[in-house]
Every structure is written in structure tokens, then in C-alpha cells.
Structure 1
Amino acid sequence: MPCPQDRSAAAIEEIYVDRLQEKSGISDSLPPSPKEFSESPCPCEEAKKKKLPIPWQVVMVFLTCMCTFGNHWSNGLIVALKTTIETDVHINNSQFATLVAVTNLMNTILCIAIGFVIDRFGGPVLSVWLAGFHLVGSLVQAGSATNGEDSYAMLIAGKVIAAIGDGSLDNAQHRIFTTYFAPGHGYAFSIGIIWAMANLAQFVGQATANIIATNLGSYAWPLWISAVVSLISMICACGVWIIDKYLRKHYIVLDHSGKAQAEAEGRRKRTTFQLSVVRRLPLTFWLVVVFAVFENAGVQSFVSISTQFTQQRLQKGAVIGGWVSSMYLLLPVGLTPLLGLYIDRYGQRMTWLFVSGVIYLVSMLVLRLSTTVPPFIFAYILYALAQTVTPAPQVEIVRNIIPDPSWYATAFAVKKSVVQGSIVIITTAAGKIQDDSANHESLAGAVTLWAVYGGVSVAISGFLLISCYTDWGMRYLPAARLSQVRPKNHCDETNRLWEMLAASPRGGVAHALSEHGADAELTRAEKARVLKGPEPTKVSDWGRQAAMWFGIIVVVIGWIVFGLGVMWGVQGSVIAGSVGW
């Protein structure tokens, strides 16, 4: 059966304006019902709204990206100052790992709770609150190093306060962009812009931290500068909130998060965090979560030792180490938006998932085995490529493999919560491995741990990629196949998979046909929803249950390992004091 192409955003806007004109009596159609009229309190004003100009979209993208600029700046300088902080605050590697991991630990719980609030009250207003928490945390961290305080407890307290905002600011950003950009029509590009700005902020913070601390005589100065940058991010968040209200009042702002589609099909739904939805997420989603537990956690956590590792390998000081280790952040600044454009046009999300895992694994192996400068620099270039191809494909994958777009907040919150738990595990374990090394400084064993993470991520992403091209994979993981095809071919591929799976006596398609009747004419959206839903088979059910429990166990172990990290840090301090460190 021929399948019409999905309407463009412009076409949807025209239909939307036509409907508003109908409600206001401009057209010759029937007058609006009382229910429709109540939903549009002033239809005459609504009909006069203009199409949202591109310059305003650019302004929203820029200000939204700036909301997390202070967050990523702060994260970059803390890891760059690792050696300085350990020396001045008199802490060991395990205690520093605890300092880095506390943010991730907080977000194993907070990102789920705050994700619900974001969908309840909107991304713009929550961006203000979350940026405010980060600003307060940054001020506390700067105060911990001022006037010779060098307080580890105060530094931890500042990180905890900042963590309330850090972990969910990107969630708020995604929520804002789901309003202004549709999948395949700029959404992946906007995510690429977010991560380009994030890497730029982290690069500047990480590259300048030791220079400022060395020239001004205290690591408090980089922290105070970070607080000023956080204030700028707070101002930008306020700008997003104010401008969003203005644009909604004067222009047509479509919500591409799935709410409009649900209303068009007569399904009134709220995009909120629903625990019952977790059981209905497909096996493809849970495999992506397991992949992220290893690849995302490995890529994001390696930065915690990057500066010190560079110092050891190059036998240079903190300033050179900070510059070299931060250079990998420049490559994603230019390439991530381009990758977003590619995904918007060609798809291939599972391919990029596999590519990111392979590049990350190779970079860790080269870092582990390199003994000279050229291969070491080459490994960091590979790590930069891994940073480039990780964020945009995964955000797009989550949005494309779930059966209902209104479940996005739930799916993203679950994925991020489990990843944060994994980051706590690998960061704390790496600190312990370093403390237990012969000279208490070697990072070789820790890098081996990151390489193992890379190997597991390659195996999982390779399985997902193969499943996109095999009959078995398309039968049990049809959502993976749909996320792989080009957006313009999505409709035809949906019909092809439907016809292929309709012949099977079991599965989601057979179940849907038994409910609606064999002769029922389902729309393309209804077919896609069935194909992306969990398959009612033992294999699918067992896989989803196993992955779900795996995620829960990762979060629980993350909390346990964090507690052990605190204990290891206390023990390390006692040992260090006894030998005169």
C-alpha cells in the first residue's frame, strides 16, 4: 500500500493556521464546539499569529545552549586542577574520585525526579531554577578555596548543591528543543549544537584552569571565574524563559514532542514520568541503555584523569598537561553539529552507535600501550572523535525507538540515571586502582578498566547493528531497523516490516491484527507504534526484564561503591599521614 510522506513542519503550521481560522469563523466551516472554544480562549488572536521567524529560532538555540555553559566550564576545570587540589587540600586519589563522583551519584535519583518536573512545568522555567542551583554551588566551591580555607567538606557541599542543577539542565534543553524542532527536521542538529557549546566550555575551563591558578597563586581564582560564567548562564536561562513566553504569545510555536499527534488521534496524554511506562519500553531501548552504561560512562568519566594522565606520560607540568589533555575537546565543537545534520538527513543511528564504541575502544587501547608521544597524541585524537559521535546519535535513538513520543522524558531519565550510576562505579574504582598501584600514582591499571568498558560497548552496539539487517533482528528488534533508515524512507520501511511480520503467528503485529481485525486499515503511525512496542514473546520479555534489573543493580552498586570510595579515602588519608605525605 502506498504511503504518503510525513508532512513537513511548514505544512503542519499551515494546517494549524487553517484550523485556528475555522475556530474564529474566518472560514465557511462549522463553528467550533464548546470544548474546542474552551481550549482556545481567544481564537481571533491565535489566528493572527505569524510563523516563527528563523532569527528567533537561532536566538533560542544560542541562549538554550548557553544555559549549561557554566556547568561544563566548571566540570572541565575541576578535573584539570586534580593535582593542585590533591596537594593543597591534602586528599588522595580516592577522595578526589569521590569529589568527582558525587555529582553522578546525586543524579541517579535526581534526574528522574526533576525529569518529571521539567515535563510538568516546561523546560524554560526549570532551566532558570537548575542554573540557579548550579550558580549557588559554584559560589560555595569558590568560597571553599578562598583565604586559605582549602576545605574538602565545603568543596563537596558545593558540588552537591551544583549537582541539583548539573544533571538535568541538558534534559531541560532537550525538552525546549522538542518544542521547536521535529525529528529529521533539525532536532539532531540542535543536539549537535548543544554538545559543541558544551565541549567548547569544557575546553576553555580545562585549558585555562592551571594557567590562572599558577599566575595568580591560588586555585581559588579559576573557581571564582567559573562562578562568574555560571552567573552568565543563569542570565541566559532567564532570557530563554522570557523569550519563550514572548514567542508563544506572538508567533505559532508548534510542540513536536508528540502531544499534538496524540491530540490529533484523539489520545489525550501528558508527557510526564510514568513508572508504568518503564515496563512498556521495548527491548531495543534497554539494549541501548546497556550500551550507554559502558560507552557513555567510559567516555564521560575518562576526563576525570585526563590531565594527570597527560602529565605522567609527557613528563610535563600541570599547565602543559591541561592544555594537551583539553585539545580533544576542540574536534567535537566543529564536527558534532555536522553529524547532527547527517543524522537528520540520512539516519544510520545504529551505525554511529557502533562507530562511537569502536573509536572509544581503540583510543583506550592505544593510550594503554603507547610509550612515546606520537601514538599518545593519536589516541587523544581518537578519543576526541569518540566524544564527537556519542551524544547526538543516542539522543536521536531514544526519541526514535520508543513507541510513543510522549514517553521521551521517562526513557531519557531512565537511561541517564543508569549511566550516572555506572560513572560513579568506574570513577571510584579507577581512583582505588591508582591508590593501590606501586607508587600510588600510576594510571595504567585505570586505563585498562576503561578499555574493558570499551570492549563491552563494541559487542553490544555490534549486535544492534547486525540486528538491523537480519531477519531475526528485524523480528525481535524492529525499532532498531526503523531507527537505521533514512527519515524519508521511514514510511515505506514501516509498511515493509509490517507485511513481513504479519505472516508470523506470534508477535506484536499478529496481536494488533487480532485486536483490530485482519482487514483493519491502520495508519502508518499506528503501525510504527506497534513495531516499536515490546514484542509479546518470551525472548523479548526475558530480555527486557534482564536489562531492567541490570540497570537497577548498576544504580545500587553505584551507591555502594561511592560509600566504599569515602571509606577508602579516609583510610588513604590516615596512611598518607603516617608516612609523612
Structure 2
Amino acid sequence: MAGMGEEDSLIQGEDSFSGSDRDGRARTMPAICDPSHWAHRIVVLVFMCFLGFGSYFCYDNPAALQTQVMQDMKVNTSGFMQLYAWYSWPNVILCFLGGFLLDRVFGIRLGTIIFGSFVFVGQIIFASGALAGRFWLMEVGRFVFGIGGESLAVAQNTYAVNWFKGKELNLVFGLQLSMARLGSTVNMNIMGWVYDKIRASMDASGVTTGYTTLGISLMIAASTCLFSLTCGLILGCLDRRAEKILNKEEGKTGEVIKLTDVKDFPLQLWLIFIICVCYYVAIFPFIGLGQVFFIEKFDFSPAQARAVNSIVYIISAPASPILGFIVDRTGKNVLWVACAIIATLSAHMMLAFSFWNPWIAMCLMGVAYSLLACALWPMVAFVVPEHQLGTAYGFMQSIQNLGLALIAMAAGAILDQKGYLVLEVFFCACICMALIAAVMLYFVDLLRGGDLNLSSSDRGKLQKNDSPHSE
């Protein structure tokens, strides 16, 4: 596979050095400071995981404060869902361009810092709009936040592949998802409490509450974006240092991505894109609207509704690395993806057509969501060469965000006009489309001799034969 030499030097540890140079560095450099050693890669992974923490924490600020936003800003459900649509719209184009810019213009390090800055500034504008009682300014903030949010995720994925391509990649994607969902979980369970505490404090002081309380709460949330931006700066320094020490530039092929390469993406990649879109549009918009759903259908209190609505993210935090490890050890990525889709479809059908305790369906959805992410996203690295990775991931998230933007508006309109039952049927239809694409992916990959559904041992043998080190 293209570019395997670069990643092998990171994965194989001290064997990446040769002769006296390796021995000399082993004697003079502590393991935790040695970019070829697993201890140093763990340090890099920590900063890599925290890179997306702030973005994911603030992405679902509206969901955690749905009732407060609608009351304080005087908007209906359709208007509320525009906060998610405005986040997604810029990424229909910019996410793809962000991946291209990472590959061709900025490079991974500068691009990460630029996109992290957009996230931080966008959250500040979003909070300022609430402070001023201007909903249109909140929408502007979400637009700016969106410019950086998904492109930052592309950078995070590219970093992961650059450092961990090989047997560890599914586990690393699982760990990254775990930390991202930790951010979402903390947001779901703490932002309502923060809002209530600020409101109580302002009431006690005789200060007018309302949208001012909302603005202060969102401004506090912006601190997580600043923290993630700092992690991006540190990660860039570590990556630059590793490039110099390991002479990574010498192992590059010199190939560069061209925008016209998109038309040459293999059919397997396009099917992966379809699965991504059809699956995630039935997860994120549902969680964005879920709090009121659980209150109305199951007569939950607001606190109970927040808890069950966030269980998908709570389960994802510990489950993602475990499931990523299992996928690493077994392979069979397409099979795991299909299982995750079927489980998610079952969960949505339980919520739509039964009055069973929703904790059952939401826990099942949490496990399935974690499994799909661990098995789906690493497959991109198996079907495109290294110099196209940023663009491929960017294009994947561009299409995902087009779907999310359209479905966010459609979901709000369906809910206002038809209610939650019709909305759930709509989500089930989206999941069925993802399942059809997964079945097609299995047969297309099988007929084309791909390795997406190979066992871990068979894939390892294939990668070893393709690697320059096997010669």
C-alpha cells in the first residue's frame, strides 16, 4: 500500500532505526521522548483525543439547552433546528476543501490550528448572540463554528492514520470517538445544571435573567474549545519533532492530491460515504430533538430525559476503545458495520412502535453507534492511498454534513407538522438505506478482491506483502 513505510516506522518501534544510529538514540533518548517508541505515541494519542473534545462538547450545546434556547430566544422547533443546519451547511463544501487544504496547502499541523481557531471564535460569537438576545447572531456563530468543526475532525482522522496506520488504527479511532463522546456526554449532563446555577445566582442578585443566562452558559462552554486549541498547538510541535527525528520526509512518494482525483475514488469508498450519511442522519438529529421526545412520550422529567438522551454518548465513551480493539483483532469491518446498522434500526423501531422502557433502545443504540464508528471510518484508509487521505475524509464529512443539514431542517418540519411517530419512521427509512449500502459494499468489495472484510490475520499478511519492508 502507498505510504506504508512512513507509518511502519512509527508502528514497529525501535526497529525503525538502523545500525549505530538506532543504538545511539536508544542510549541518549528516554522512551517517552522517542517518537518511534510506543510510550511517546501514547502521549501523542492523548493530545490527539483531546483535540476534538471542545468541538464535540459545544456541538450539542443546543440539544442540552433545547428548552432554554426555545424559551429565551422565542423560536419554535424548526427555528431551533436551524442551529444545527447552519453548522452543517458550510461543511457541505468546506469540509472537502478542508481535507484538500490539509493535503496540499496548509499541511496537517497548520491546518489543525486554523480549524481549531474557527471553532473557538465561532463558539464565542454563538454565545455573544445569546448575550445580546440576537438569534441571527447565534446562527452566524454556528456557521463559523461549523467551518472549523468538521474540518478539525478531518485533521484528527488524518493525524490518527499518519501515526497509527496498521493493527492499532481501529483502536485509535475508538479512543478518539470515546473522548469526543465524553465531551458530548459532559455537555448533555452539565449544561442544564450550569444554566440553572447561573439563573439562580442572577435571580438572587436581582439581575434580569433570560437570554443573558443562556449567553453566560454558552460563554463558559467556550473554554473547552480554547483547551482543544491548545492541544492542537502541542500536537503540532510533537508531530514536527517526530518528522525531523524519524526523517519522515525521505519516505514520502512525492505524490500530491488533485481535485480531479475525486472522480477516480473507488466504488467501495462511495458506498462508505452513503453508509455514513444515511446512518448519522438518524443519530444526531434524533439526539438533537430527543429530550422533548422522552418528556412527551414517556412522561420523563427534564432531568430523566437529559439522562436517557445522553446515554448514547455515555456508552460510547468506554465502549468505543473496547469495540475498536475487537475490530482490530477480528477484522471483518463490513460485517461489523452491518451488525451496527441492524442494531440501530432495532432501537429506532422500539422507540417508534413500543412503550418499552427507552433505556433499552438507547443503550442498544449507544453500543451500535460506537461499533459502526470503529469499523466504518478506518475503512477509508484501506481503499485510498496516503496522499489522498485528507481529501477522502473531508469529502466523506462534506457529504455527511449535506445530509445532516437537509435532515435537520426536514426533521424540525416533520416534528412540527406530523409528530414524533412519523419522524421515527423517517429515521428508520434512512437506516434501511444504510443497510442496503452495506450489503452492496460487501459484494462489491468481494468481487473486486478488496480487503475490507478480511480477517485481521489475512489483512496483516496482505499489508506485509505490500509493504516496502517485505522486499
Range class of TM-score, shorter chain: 0.7 to 0.9
The alignment status of 1:252 with 2:246, answered yes or no, reads yes
Q: Using the alignment, how far apart are the partners of 1:388 and 1:16 within structure 2?
A: 33
Q: Secondary structure at the match of 2:88?
A: helix
1:222: Cα distance to partner? 2.6
2:271 paired residue number: 287
* Letter of the 1:133 counterpart: F
The alignment status of 1:342 with 2:342, answered yes or no, reads no
Contact 1:211 1:319 in 2 (8 A): no
Shift in CA distance, 78/253, structure 1 to aligned 2, threshold 3 Å: farther
1:305: Cα distance to partner? 0.8
Q: CA RMSD in A?
A: 2.9
Shift in CA distance, 16/57, structure 1 to aligned 2, threshold 3 Å: closer
1:450 paired residue number: 427
TM value normalised by structure 2: 0.86
Q: Secondary structure at the match of 2:72?
A: helix
Q: Secondary structure at the match of 1:102?
A: helix
CA offsets per residue over residues 51-95 of structure 1, 9 Å max, x none?
A: 633332122111121121111111222112112211111111111
The alignment status of 1:197 with 2:197, answered yes or no, reads no
CA offsets per residue over residues 504-555 of structure 1, 9 Å max, x none?
A: xxxxxxxxxxxxxxxxxxx7479xxxxxxxxxxxxxxxxxxxxxxxxxxxxx
- Give runs of aligned pairs for residues 100-119 of structure 1, distance below 5 A: 100-119=84-103
Q: Secondary structure at the match of 1:478?
A: coil
1:225: Cα distance to partner? 1.8
Q: Using the alignment, how far apart are the partners of 2:15 and 2:36 within structure 1?
A: 15
- Give runs of aligned pairs for residues 345-384 of structure 1, distance below 5 A: 345-372=329-356, 374=357, 376-384=358-366
- Give runs of aligned pairs for residues 75-154 of structure 1, distance below 5 A: 75-120=59-104, 121-146=106-131, 149-154=132-137
2:140 paired residue number: 157
- Give runs of aligned pairs for residues 217-256 of structure 1, distance below 5 A: 217=199, 218-249=213-244, 251-252=245-246
1:176 paired residue number: 159
1:498 paired residue number: none
1:193: Cα distance to partner? 0.8
- Give runs of aligned pairs for residues 155-554 of structure 1, distance below 5 A: 155-184=138-167, 186-217=168-199, 218-249=213-244, 251-252=245-246, 260=251, 263=253, 268-270=254-256, 272=257, 274-372=258-356, 374=357, 376-402=358-384, 404-437=385-418, 442-465=419-442, 467=443, 474-475=446-447, 477-479=448-450, 482-490=451-459, 524=466
Q: Using the alignment, how far apart are the partners of 2:19 and 2:255 within structure 1?
A: 21
Q: Using the alignment, how far apart are the partners of 1:130 and 1:488 within structure 2?
A: 37
Shift in CA distance, 128/492, structure 1 to aligned 2, threshold 3 Å: closer
Contact 1:111 1:413 in 2 (8 A): yes
Q: Secondary structure at the match of 1:389?
A: helix
CA offsets per residue over residues 442-495 of structure 1, 9 Å max, x none?
A: 322212211111122122213433x28xxxx633x322xx11112431376799
CA offsets per residue over residues 169-208 of structure 1, 9 Å max, x none?
A: 1111122222221222x12111111100011100110111
CA offsets per residue over residues 197-237 of structure 1, 9 Å max, x none?
A: 01110011011122222232232333122111111112211
* Letter of the 1:320 counterpart: Q
* Letter of the 1:281 counterpart: F
1:122: Cα distance to partner? 2.7
Q: Secondary structure at the match of 1:449?
A: helix
* Letter of the 2:283 counterpart: V
Q: Secondary structure at the match of 1:210?
A: helix
Q: Secondary structure at the match of 1:219?
A: helix
* Letter of the 1:252 counterpart: L
Q: Which structure 1 segments of 5+ residues have no match?
A: 1-6, 27-43, 496-522, 527-581
CA offsets per residue over residues 319-356 of structure 1, 9 Å max, x none?
A: 33222211221111111111222222221100111011
1:301: Cα distance to partner? 2.6
Q: Higher helix proportion, which one? A: 2
1:124: Cα distance to partner? 2.6
Q: Using the alignment, how far apart are the partners of 2:21 and 2:54 within structure 1?
A: 44
Q: Using the alignment, how far apart are the partners of 2:71 and 2:405 within structure 1?
A: 23
1:12: Cα distance to partner? 6.1
Shift in CA distance, 19/363, structure 1 to aligned 2, threshold 3 Å: same
TM value normalised by structure 1: 0.71
Contact 1:210 1:318 in 2 (8 A): no
CA offsets per residue over residues 145-191 of structure 1, 9 Å max, x none?
A: 22xx321111001111111110111111122222221222x121111
Shift in CA distance, 232/405, structure 1 to aligned 2, threshold 3 Å: closer
1:13: Cα distance to partner? 6.4
Q: Secondary structure at the match of 1:198?
A: helix
Contact 1:361 1:458 in 2 (8 A): no
Q: Using the alignment, how far apart are the partners of 1:366 and 1:134 within structure 2?
A: 36
Q: Percent identity?
A: 19
Shift in CA distance, 488/10, structure 1 to aligned 2, threshold 3 Å: farther
Shift in CA distance, 8/224, structure 1 to aligned 2, threshold 3 Å: closer
Find runs of 4+ consecutive structure 1 residues off by over 4 angstroms. 7-16, 19-22, 47-51, 491-495, 523-526
Shift in CA distance, 418/322, structure 1 to aligned 2, threshold 3 Å: same
Shift in CA distance, 317/220, structure 1 to aligned 2, threshold 3 Å: farther
Shift in CA distance, 116/8, structure 1 to aligned 2, threshold 3 Å: closer
* Letter of the 1:241 counterpart: G
Report which structure shows greater RCO (CA 8 Å, sep ≥6): 2
1:531 paired residue number: none
CA offsets per residue over residues 228-255 of structure 1, 9 Å max, x none?
A: 1111112211221223233444x43758
Aligned residues, how many? 444
Q: Using the alignment, how far apart are the partners of 1:83 and 1:132 within structure 2?
A: 29
* Letter of the 1:410 counterpart: T
Contact 2:9 2:36 in 1 (8 A): no
The alignment status of 1:73 with 2:57, answered yes or no, reads yes
Q: Using the alignment, how far apart are the partners of 1:103 and 1:493 within structure 2?
A: 40
Q: Which structure 2 segments of 5+ residues have no match?
A: 1-6, 200-212
Q: Using the alignment, how far apart are the partners of 2:38 and 2:460 within structure 1?
A: 28
Q: Using the alignment, how far apart are the partners of 1:109 and 1:338 within structure 2?
A: 34
1:135: Cα distance to partner? 0.9
Q: Using the alignment, how far apart are the partners of 1:173 and 1:491 within structure 2?
A: 24
- Give runs of aligned pairs for residues 26-37 of structure 1, distance below 5 A: none
